Each structure stands twice: as C-alpha cells, then as structure tokens.
C-alpha cells in the first residue's frame, strides 16, 4: 500500500475479481489503500485470489457469490458492509462468453451469458445504490467491451449482453448523478486473459489486464464536479 494512500477511505467491490481483469483491478485499488472485496462462483478461486492479494499487504476479502442470483448478491453485499463498511466503489466486472452463431446456440448458453454479464450488473448495482444515495457519494464502473459497440460473427449473446450493459449504464448515470454517484463504463478491446480465444493475435500487442485497471483508477481520481461516462480502450498497435 502506498503511503498517504489516496483510496484509504474507500471500500470497493470487484465482481469476478479472482483472475484476469478483475484481479488486476483489485490489486490496483488495494495498493492504493482501498479495502477490496472480491467474489466468484468458485470458492477455491476466491480463496487463492484473497491469499495472493493479502500477501501483498492488501486489505482483501473474498466470498463466493453468484452475481446472477438476487439472494446471493444480497448476502454478499451485506457481509461486505458488516466486515468492511459502506461500499463506495462497485466494479461490475464479472462476465462470461459463449461464442457461436445464434442459430447454433442453445437457450441455456444464452441465459448464462445474459444472466452473468447484464443481470449481474443490474443486481449488484441495485443492491449498493440505495446506500450510496443515502451517503451522497459513490462510483459504479461497468466493465463492458468494444463488443458493446461492434458486432462480430459468433458473438450474438456476448454482444447483446454488452450492448445491453451500455444502455443500463447510461440510464443509471441519469438516475444517480443528482445523488452524487458517478456511473462509468469501460469498453476494452481484446485483453490478453484466459477469458476467450484470440487466435492469430500477438499477445504482446494486446491489451493487458492492468491497462483496464489503470482506467479504473483514472475514473476514481476524476475531480468530483465531473465524471467520464464512457472510455474506449484499444491497444496502440493492432494485434
């Protein structure tokens, strides 16, 4: 943790925070002094990520949670409040992808993608927003994708979830800005993680998880009289 840590008074939830982009965000915010709470549906993954963050001196807490289930979300947020205090930062990062043509996709896969990527962001935001309103402060950041602005073959469910997330975020920003709550969305291009295949792309030219974490930090450091609603993030060199 940095001396005079700028986020020492923040409690941040990062969904899908056990690997890839989510873990990089948790590490970045934790090093800046925030108390970070991570969740995942897989208990062993939560335990490993929590241990890794704590080994760096970060105040990290992890609990299993399914962001697509309202009861699970409610239990998770209640535990975060009890153990860490009021949530001032929410990063909706949890996401899954099933990539195949729409006419070859079964309903179970469609529901999984929309439930995690879109409904999960709605449920988590709904759970933390009322207390943020009461405190007249807070920041909600959605991790979307450039697939939320551009389509590609085999991306029907994934694109639909990210386009929907963009609409949800825009409406939330209007609902919450009068209460001192800022809502932002990051649209990264291809990020070098285990999340999805990137056949033929040079990993060295792709975005890295910490590139997304850097943008999250930038958004949180924004002066309070303004907010950045959307950030498109691309690699300098096409991979």
- pLDDT tens digits, residue range 50-59? 999 999 999 9
Residue recorded with tokens 């939320």:
148
Distance CA 67, CA 1 (A): 28
Contact (Cβ atoms closer than 8 angstroms) between residue 181 and residue 133: yes
Q: State the pTM of this model.
A: 0.95
Distance CA 12, CA 9 (A): 10
Contact (Cβ atoms closer than 8 angstroms) between residue 183 and residue 169: yes
Q: What is the DSSP string of 180-231?
A: TEEEEEEEE--BSSSSS--TT--GGGSB-HHHHHHHHHHHHTS-TT----EE
Other beta carbons within 10 angstroms of residue 81's beta carbon come to 16
Confidence of residue 172 (pLDDT cuts 50, 70, 90): very high
φ, ψ for residue 46, nearest 5 deg: -65, -45
Q: Going by C-beta distance under 8 Å and a sequence separation of 6 or more, which residues neighbour residue 202?
A: 239
* DSSP state at residue 59: -
Q: Going by C-beta distance under 8 Å and a sequence separation of 6 or more, which residues neighbour residue 24?
A: 208, 209, 210, 212, 213
Average pLDDT of the chain? 95
60-77 pLDDT, tens per residue? 999 999 999 999 999 999
Distance CA 137, CA 131 (A): 9
Domains and CATH numbers, the chain: 11-233 (3.40.50.720)
Active site residues: 158
6-32 pLDDT, tens per residue? 999 999 999 999 999 999 999 999 999
134-164 pLDDT, tens per residue? 999 999 999 999 999 999 999 999 999 999 9
């Amino acid at each position: 943790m940095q001396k005079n840590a700028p986020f020492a008074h923040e409690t941040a939830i990062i969904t899908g925070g056990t690997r890839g982009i989510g873990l990089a965000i948790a590490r970045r915010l934790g090093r800046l002094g925030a108390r970070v709470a991570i969740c995942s549906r897989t208990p062993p993954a939560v335990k490993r990520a929590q241990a890794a963050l704590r080994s760096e001196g970060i105040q990290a807490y992890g609990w299993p949670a399914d962001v697509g289930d309202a009861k699970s979300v409610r239990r998770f947020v209640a535990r975060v409040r009890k153990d860490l205090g009021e949530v001032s930062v929410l990063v909706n990062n949890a996401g899954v992808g099933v990539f195949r043509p729409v006419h070859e996709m079964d309903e179970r896969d469609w529901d999984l993608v929309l439930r995690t990527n879109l409904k999960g962001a709605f449920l988590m935001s709904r759970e933390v927003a009322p207390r943020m309103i009461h405190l007249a402060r807070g920041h909600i950041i959605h991790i979307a994708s450039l697939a939320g602005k551009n389509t590609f073959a085999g991306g029907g469910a994934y694109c639909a979830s990210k386009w929907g997330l963009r609409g949800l975020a825009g409406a939330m920003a209007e609902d919450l800005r009068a209460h001192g709550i800022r809502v932002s969305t990051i649209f990264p291009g291809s990020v070098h993680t285990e999340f999805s295949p990137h056949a033929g792309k040079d990993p060295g030219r792709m975005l890295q998880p910490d590139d997304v974490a850097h943008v999250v930090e930038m958004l949180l450091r924004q002066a309070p009289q303004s907010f950045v609603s959307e950030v498109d993030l691309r690699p300098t060199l096409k991979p």
